[in-house]
Structure 1
Amino acid sequence: MKTKYSLLLALFALIVISGCVKLSEDPKATLTPGTYFKTQSDLDASVNAMYIQLARDGAWGFTSKETSYFGSDDLTTDPGLNKADMRDFDRLSGNSANQSMLAEWQGPWAAIYQANNVIANYAKVNSTDALKNESAGQCYFVRGLCYYYMVRTFGALPLVLTPISLDARPPRADVASVYASIISDLKTAKSLLSNTPSSGRPTSYSASACLADVYLTMAGH
């Protein structure tokens, strides 16, 4: 019996001692923007993830991107159709309870968040300058485009140009500062993007066209 208790005591001591051993962690499955961007494939996947934020239904995948045009003569809704959200804009009464208005706010921010990660990390990727610049140019273009849509709907906006935590709440910048950032992003995109057409992707011509639209809007047209 004494031997039995001695064995149990020894086993308990072994468990306690082994529980105090410091484990050496090697979190290969943990990815962060600081460790993820290594290859062109990583960069391509991140750029695709940016576009996905806009393609989702409820972001820009449906009609939310058109909210800034409702209330004008450009678009209208049929009272007999199931477009209650859109009728709010026809009546100039869109608010935060409107799901399309909410989607136009959330969708672009998700894309901007992803674009910022690429812009902050693309230079260190092991790839050619041409491919890296093309990836970065797309992100500058999308970020500028997102801000362009939002500033016309919401006015003053938080100007987020670097990666931030998801729970950060930066202050709003005035409209003039937002437009200055839009112009800067589109000019940078124009300098980085190629002229070669690619289905569904912006080129330097896309950036030039968007810049022209921005200037016309700023001039009151």
Structure 2
Amino acid sequence: MKNIKAILLFASLFASFGCSDWLRVEPDNVITRERFWKSEEDVNSATIAVYAEFSRHCTRLFEWGEARGDMVKAGEKASQNIKDLLALRLLPTNGLADWYGMYRVINLANSLEKYAPQTYEYDASFTEEALNEYLAEARYMRALSYFYLVRTFQEVPLVLEPSDTDDVEFHLAKSTEEEVFAQIIKDLVFAERYAKRKYGNASDNKGRATKSAVQATLADVYLWTGQYAECQVMCDKIISRSAHVLMPKNDWFDIFFQENTSESVFEIQYDSRIGFSAGFFEILLKEPQYLIGDEVEGLYTSTKDVRKNWIIQTTEDQIRKVVSRGLLDDSNWVVYRYADILLMKAEALIQEGSTLKAQQLLNDVRKRAGIEKTLLPSEKHLAEDVLLEERAREFAFEGKRWYDILRMAHRDNYARKDLVATVLLKNVPAADQNLWISKLSNPQSFYFPIHIEELRRNPALVQNPYYEN
């Protein structure tokens, strides 16, 4: 995965050409479809390009997964877009509502799925097994991209064909949330069947779509769709394999500083030596647009909690956890790790009433952090609250907090939508809260609007109802 820079040119060219753009490209200057897909090496390059494109957008995934939660606040250098988002002034003109990056990833994955099979005609050594492994990676990254989109926008266009000619109409309407989740699961089930168990080195084992990465994502998706038995099956496959473990307490920060540790399941790879970084240094340390929220320190009630020592490091409230290498700015972006597997299974068990089993998993994570065991209440919503708080401590600033809150609220037809309102109202002046309580009773307010430019480009799109007026 550390050869990503060499492939990045292909990623940018291949993703950015849509429809008739291909017809205007000089063949001597770029890699065209007619000159590509001739060997397994081409297929591998196209696969790495999908990861490379995804890696460009992890700061946006941080913003989607953290900014609306209760663990960050606007920094001194915060853009107006960020200030508006935190103040509930989210409009279709806000740049944070731009989904273009995820659709670039999806387009690359779609191209790989469509054109990789034709390589058979040119490379006799390219096997069906190898092809299916590459297709598993493509469909995994497509599913992961749609998983972020559906949690952020709720309803999005479901594009499954590459946009590289004028032969296909891409003015697609939005698909329903249920339709998007169905496609995500379909892709992940395929990926689990054909993905490799491991590659030849640590960065590929943690940075490409292994069976463990796919199973972790499926477990997460099943939590969202209420398929709790299926979630546990996926978690158990990872747990029983013993390929992933909790890092020791004193090495907890190595998850982010050393990278690709035994706790890691899937993380996006970066390397500043080749000029390839996530950009978190710029928005979190150099000119902080986000700072640690005022209530975060209060989450860590035990002085023995090793996580607190690493998360609350400065008086400036800077978020250093995901910029663990400082100026190098090449810390990987951890998508899934073993602690998440344990707590996802615990959440599924709570939904089934198996509180004692869930409690053991929760306490495994707490023990590693150096804090005492806790008891889970037998009442489901109270147990959810305990779990949600532990997830906040464990996964602070890993792009999960908002999605965790939304998932709890989303369950059982938004039975706990008050969770979202409680969090969002923290940034609203007391005099305006009654007005916002009424607005936030509508679950459609929990999702982003479609950006105005997307509506202009695609006449088939309809604005998310909450933002129509």
Give your verdict on TM over 0.5. yes
Which letter does structure 2 place at the counterpart of 1:164?
Answer: S
2:89 aligned counterpart, secondary structure: coil
- For residues 104-136 of structure 1, the C-alpha deviation after alignment (integer angstroms, 9 at most, x for no partner) is x01110010110011112223231233222211
Instruction: Note if contact 1:190-1:208 (Cα within 8 Å) is conserved in structure 2.
Output: yes
Which letter does structure 1 place at the counterpart of 2:118?
Answer: K
Q: From 89, 106, 112, give the equivalent of 2:106.
A: 112
Match of 2:94 in 1: 98
Match of 1:153 in 2: 152
Q: Distance in 2 between matches of 1:192 and 1:48?
A: 17
- For residues 153-196 of structure 1, the C-alpha deviation after alignment (integer angstroms, 9 at most, x for no partner) is 11111111122347821111111100100111111111110111
Instruction: Note if contact 1:76-1:90 (Cα within 8 Å) is conserved in structure 2.
Output: no
Q: TM-score, normalised by structure 2?
A: 0.37
Match status 1:66 vs 2:63: yes
Q: Distance in 2 between matches of 1:49 and 1:195?
A: 21
Which letter does structure 2 place at the counterpart of 1:146?
Answer: S
Match status 1:76 vs 2:72: yes
Instruction: Note if contact 2:143-2:183 (Cα within 8 Å) is conserved in structure 1.
Output: yes
Aligned ranges 1:187-198 → 2 under 5 Å: 187-196=189-198, 198=205
Instruction: Note if contact 1:71-1:91 (Cα within 8 Å) is conserved in structure 2.
Output: no
For the structure 1 residues 106 and 89, does the alpha-carbon distance in structure 2 shift closer, same or farther, using more than 3 Å as the test? same
1:122 aligned counterpart, secondary structure: helix
Match of 2:36 in 1: 36
For the structure 1 residues 209 and 199, does the alpha-carbon distance in structure 2 shift closer, same or farther, using more than 3 Å as the test? closer
Q: Distance in 2 between matches of 1:82 and 1:70?
A: 11
Match of 1:89 in 2: 85
For the structure 1 residues 192 and 88, does the alpha-carbon distance in structure 2 shift closer, same or farther, using more than 3 Å as the test? farther
Match of 2:220 in 1: 213
Q: Distance in 2 between matches of 1:63 and 1:171?
A: 24
Instruction: Note if contact 2:112-2:135 (Cα within 8 Å) is conserved in structure 1.
Output: yes
- For residues 13-46 of structure 1, the C-alpha deviation after alignment (integer angstroms, 9 at most, x for no partner) is xxxxxxxxxxxxxx97586546621211110121
Match status 1:162 vs 2:161: yes
Match of 2:138 in 1: 139
Which letter does structure 2 place at the counterpart of 1:114?
Answer: L
Instruction: Note if contact 2:74-2:86 (Cα within 8 Å) is conserved in structure 1.
Output: no
For the structure 1 residues 180 and 42, does the alpha-carbon distance in structure 2 shift closer, same or farther, using more than 3 Å as the test? same
Q: Distance in 1 between matches of 2:143 and 2:197?
A: 19
Q: Distance in 2 between matches of 1:91 and 1:54?
A: 28
Q: Distance in 2 between matches of 1:79 and 1:98?
A: 18
The offset of 1:79, in angstroms, is: 4.0
Instruction: Note if contact 1:79-1:87 (Cα within 8 Å) is conserved in structure 2.
Output: no
Which structure has the larger Rg? 1
Q: Distance in 1 between matches of 2:190 and 2:172?
A: 24
For the structure 1 residues 62 and 166, does the alpha-carbon distance in structure 2 shift closer, same or farther, using more than 3 Å as the test? farther
Q: Distance in 2 between matches of 1:32 and 1:194?
A: 29
Instruction: Note if contact 1:68-1:152 (Cα within 8 Å) is conserved in structure 2.
Output: no
Give 5+ residue unaligned stretches, structure 1: 1-26
1:77 aligned counterpart, secondary structure: strand
Structure with the bigger RCO (C-alpha within 8 Å, sep 6+) is 2
* Larger CA deviation: 152-161 vs 32-41: 32-41
Match of 1:50 in 2: 50
Q: CA RMSD in A?
A: 2.5
Identity of paired residues, percent?
26
Instruction: Note if contact 2:146-2:184 (Cα within 8 Å) is conserved in structure 1.
Output: yes
Give 5+ residue unaligned stretches, structure 2: 1-25, 200-204, 227-406, 409-469
1:72 aligned counterpart, secondary structure: coil
Q: From 178, 184, 187, give the equivalent of 1:185.
A: 187
1:49 aligned counterpart, secondary structure: helix
Instruction: Note if contact 2:74-2:82 (Cα within 8 Å) is conserved in structure 1.
Output: no
Q: TM-score, normalised by structure 1?
A: 0.74
1:71 aligned counterpart, secondary structure: coil
Match status 1:201 vs 2:208: yes
The offset of 1:65, in angstroms, is: 4.4
Instruction: Note if contact 2:155-2:175 (Cα within 8 Å) is conserved in structure 1.
Output: yes
